A and B are shown apart, each in its own frame.
Chain A
Amino acid sequence: MNISWIEKNTFHYSEFSDLSRLVDEKQRKNLKISLCLPTLNEEKTIAKEILIMKSELMTRYPILDEIVVVDSDSIDNTRKIARGYGADVYNAAEILPDLEKFKGKGENLWKALFVTKGDIIVYLDADIKNIHHRFAYGLLGPLILFDNIKYVKAFYDRPISIGKSKIRPTGGGRVTELVIRPLFSLFFPELTQILQPLSGEYAGYRELFETIPFPIGYGVETSMILDIYEKWGLDVFAQVDLDRRIHRNQDTRALGRMSFAILQTFIKRKIKLGMVDYKEKLYNEMIQYNLIKDEFKPDIYKIEEHERPPMIEIPEYREKFKRIS
C-alpha cells in the first residue's frame, strides 16, 4: 500500500493563496476553468456563492472563466437569483433533452460537462453557509501548479449548523466514518488516505470526468473516486484542507438513505470490477420503521442509483467538444 501519498498529496488551501501566481500559471498553460454549482432550492445561499466567487476569482483575479448553475427544477427563486447575480443558469432537464430524465446531484454534475467550457471543472455544493473563495482556489491550486495532479478533493473540520443560530464546533462526516471508511479499509486500504471522500467539493480535469460514468444520486462521489483510482491510480489525486465548512445538518434517517445509495454504488462497482461475485438480486428499497401509536409502520424508499454513461459516449458531446469516443 502506498502510504506516502497522504504526505505528498495533502495540502492546505493557504499554500495556494498567492492568486497572482495561479493566474500566471493558468495563462501560461492556456487553461479554461469552469465553476459548477449544482442546485436544488438553494435560494438562501446561492447568491453569496456566486457573488464572492465572481468578485474574487473573476473580477479581481481572472482564475474562473465561467460560473454555471445546473438546477434540478427548484421551486424557490434559486434560478432567478443566480441569473440576477450573473451566473449562467441551466435547468438540468433542458440539457440534452432527448435523453431520459433523471433528478439528482450526480445528474447535474454530469450534465454540467455538456454546458461548461473549462478544461478544469470545479464542483462546489451550493449550500455552504461560510462560502469563501478559498473553496475554489484551494481546489484549483494543485491542478494548476502540479502537472501530475488531475483530481482534487476537499476535506474540512466540519461543524454543522444546529437550530437557527448556534454553531456546534465538531461533528459531521458520519456516513464517511460509519460506511465509507470501513468499506475502503476492507477493499481499497490505499483510499483510506482520502480523509473525506464524500465531501461535495472537488475539481478535476475534463479529460477525467468525461470518461467516467456518473451515478445520478448520492453515489456520485464514491463512484468518482473508485473509477478515477481504477483508471489512473492514486497519484493523480490530491486533497486540500479548506478549513471549516458550515453546512446543514441531516438527520440519521436521511443519512441512512444516503448510506444505502452509497452502498448500492459501491457494490455495483465491486461487481463490475470483478472483485466480488454476487449471485443474488440486490434490492432497491430502503426500509425504515416508525412507531405510530402502538404499531410499527415501515417507510419504504425506493433508491435506484441510475448511472449516466461516460459523457464522451454521448454523440452530441463528442460533436460539441470535437472528441473521439
Chain B
Amino acid sequence: MDKFIDKLPGFVDTIKSFQETIITNIVLIGQVPAPTFKEKKRTSVFMERLAEFQVDECTTDGYRNPIGIIKGTSESKPPIFVVAHLDTIFSQDVDHYYSIQENSITGAGILDNSVGVGVLVSLPEILRKLGLRFESDIVLAGVIQSLGKGNLRGIRHLLKTWATPIRGAVCIEGAELGRLNYYADGMIRCEVDCDISPVDGWEHKFKPNAILVLNEVINQIMKLRLPQKPRSRVIVGKTSGGVKHGTIAHNATLGFEIQSNSDKMVKSIFNNIKDIIEGTRHEYEVDLQLKTLSNIHAERLKFNHPLVKSSVAVMKKLDITPVSGPSESELSIFLSRKIPAVTLGITQGENYHQQNASVAIEPIPKGIAQVIGVIMAIDSGVCDEHQLD
C-alpha cells in the first residue's frame, strides 16, 4: 500500500491542471435542477458528460440511475462502486445558476451534491490523465431519489439488482473535506400531519390550531428521556403550516428523525412518539397522522477495518485530518448489504443547504486525490479479506 500512497501528493498537481474541466462539470450538471423524484434532466446531462469523457460503458439501470463503467484489467475481481446522489432539496423554480469567484463557486445545491456529482463525472478523464488502471471495474453511479422522501430508493434498487458481488465502495459528498464516515446510525424519518376540518363541528368549543397541536407534540417529544448510551437523539428538522398571520392554521406538518446507534433504541423511541401522537389526537380531537418516510438500520465498519485504516492513511498522506461521524446516506445501504464502504467529502463549504451555498475551489484537487487513493486501496485488496461480519 505504501507504494501507491506515496504517489498521492503528486496526483494533486496533475488533478489541478485539469481543474477547469472539473469545475465545468460541476457547474454544467449542478445548474440543472434536480429535486428528488424529478432528476430526469440532470440524469441526461450526467450521461452526456460521462459519454463525452469516453467511459467504457454508459447506461442506466432499471430504476434510471445513470451509470458509467471504467473497465478493469481483471476478469475475476468484483467491481468497485463510486457513488454520488443526484437529487437536491431545491425545487425546479429556484435559480440554480452558479457564480464563480476567485476561489469559490456559489449556488443552490453546490454542496449537496453538485460538487460530488461533477467530480464523479470527471473521474474517467482524471484517471486517464494520471495513467491509472485498476484490476476491478469502477462503477460510477449518480443515484437518484436519495434525499428525504426519496428514502435512498436509487441506491437501494441499484444494489438490490446488481448481479455480481461488490468489492467495496466510496460515496462522494461535496463537503466537508476530512469527513470519514464508516458507520451509519439507525434512523427512522417521520412526518406528522395535523389536519383540522375548516367546518365547525360540535366537538370543539374552541377550534384547535394545527400549529399549536404540533407544538404540543414537540413539547411531549422533548420530554422523552433519551439515553447517552446507546447514543440517541430526536431531531425536529422541518415544520410547515398555516395560511396567513391572522387565521387559525388548519393544516401543519412536522418532520423529524430518530437517530441512534442502536436499532432497538430507535424502535423504542419511535413507539414512544407513536403513543404521544395517539394521545394528542384523542385529547385535541384532531386528525393527526404519523407517517414513516425512511428507515435505516444501524450498520458500521469497525474502526480497525482495513478500509477505514487505509482511508485514514490516505488522508494523512495528503495532510487531511480525518473526522469521523455517522452518515445516513448511501453509505448505510452499502453497509446493510455487507459491502465495505466509506463516505468522503471533497472540499470546504458554507451555507450548506441555503441557496447561496458556496464551496472553496482550492481544496478540490486534494479531495479528489483522496477519493482516488481510497479506490486504489480497495483495488489493492484491503476489503477482500475483511467483509463485514
Stretch at the interface among A40-48, A88-96, A102-110, A135-143: A40-48
The answer to whether A81 touches B21 (Cβ under 8 A) is: no
The answer to whether B24 touches A129 (Cβ under 8 A) is: no
In the complex, the chain A residue whose C-beta lies closest to that of B52 is A60
The answer to whether A55 touches B20 (Cβ under 8 A) is: yes
Stretch at the interface among A159-167, A174-182, A256-264: A159-167
The answer to whether B95 touches A165 (Cβ under 8 A) is: yes
The answer to whether B95 touches A161 (Cβ under 8 A) is: yes
Which A residues are CB-close (under 8 A) to B102?
Answer: 47, 77, 80-81, 84
The answer to whether A48 touches B21 (Cβ under 8 A) is: no
Which A residues are CB-close (under 8 A) to B262?
Answer: none
The answer to whether A60 touches B101 (Cβ under 8 A) is: no
B104 CB to closest chain A CB (Å) equals 10
The answer to whether B95 touches A132 (Cβ under 8 A) is: no
Known pairs A59-B20, A59-B21, A80-B102; A165 contacts B28 (CB<8 A): no
Contact of B93 among A48, A84, A167 (CB under 8 A): A167
**Distance between Cα atoms of A44 and B23 in the complex (Å):** 16
**A130 on the interface (CB 8 Å rule)?**
yes
Interface residues on A, range: 20 to 34
**A51 on the interface (CB 8 Å rule)?**
yes
**Distance between Cα atoms of A246 and B31 in the complex (Å):** 12
B95 CB to closest chain A CB (Å) equals 4
The answer to whether A55 touches B21 (Cβ under 8 A) is: yes
**Distance between Cα atoms of A204 and B61 in the complex (Å):** 45
Per-residue CB proximity of B13-37 to A under 8 Å, as 1/0? 0000000110110011001000000
Which B residues are CB-close (under 8 A) to A77?
Answer: 102
A61 CB to closest chain B CB (Å) equals 10
**Distance between Cα atoms of A248 and B355 in the complex (Å):** 18
A-side residues, CB < 8 A to B, are: 43-45, 47-48, 51-52, 54-56, 59-60, 77, 80-81, 84-85, 129-130, 132, 161, 164-167, 246
What are 12 inter-chain pairs, A to B, with CB distance below 8 A?
A44-B99, A45-B99, A47-B102, A48-B100, A52-B27, A52-B28, A55-B23, A59-B20, A81-B101, A129-B97, A161-B95, A166-B93
Known: A45-B99, A56-B24, A165-B108. 17 other contacts (CB 8 A): A44-B99, A47-B101, A48-B27, A48-B99, A51-B20, A51-B100, A52-B24, A55-B21, A56-B21, A59-B20, A129-B95, A130-B31, A161-B95, A165-B95, A165-B355, A166-B95, A246-B97
